[in-house]
Amino acid sequence: MKRVTAIGGLFFKCNNPDAQREWYAKHLGLAMDKFGTSFEWRHSDEKEKKGYSAWSTFEKETDYFGNTSQQYMINYRVDDLEALIQQLKKEGVTIVDQMEIYEYGKFVHILDGEGNKVELWEANDDIYGKLANAVTK
């Protein structure tokens, strides 16, 4: 079974998320919306198939990352989230929450070996691509 297939996103805390997004747009040319941007890429085994990785700023006080000292969270893309969750449970990995299902994919959070919250995402790229307002290519 494949586990992680790609980076699904990078999320980080900052004092002023709006100003950070503006800075990255102005100085590094990232296309932005109120959430951040998405990077479009192609699957290595299916060149015509698009994939996306998200980049987003969060308020310094967010509890979305779990531990308040955790400054960033990585989202990893996976092929079969339900099967991976079962395997990770067998291996003693802490599953933080229940899998959530949205039209653009399935999500769950786990803790890594040092207690950092990590997000796993089984993406539905066709839907995600239609919903993404800001794509950096």
Residue 45, Cβ neighbours under 10 Å: how many?
7
Full residue range of the structural domain in which residue 74 is found = 4-136
pLDDT of residue 44: 87
pLDDT of residue 67: 84
Q: What is the CATH number of the domain that holds 60?
A: 3.10.180.10
pLDDT of residue 35: 93
Confidence of residue 45 (pLDDT cuts 50, 70, 90): confident
10 Å CB burial of residue 35 (0-12, 13-18, 19+) is middle
From CA 24, how far away is CA 28, in angstroms rounded?
5
Our count of domains for the chain comes to: 1
What are the residues whose beta carbons fall under 8 Å from the beta carbon of 104, sequence distance 6 or more? 123, 124, 127, 128, 131
pLDDT for 124 beyond 80: yes
User: Tens digit of pLDDT for each residue in 101-117?
Assistant: 999 999 999 999 999 99
Q: What is the arithmetic mean of pLDDT over 125-130?
A: 95
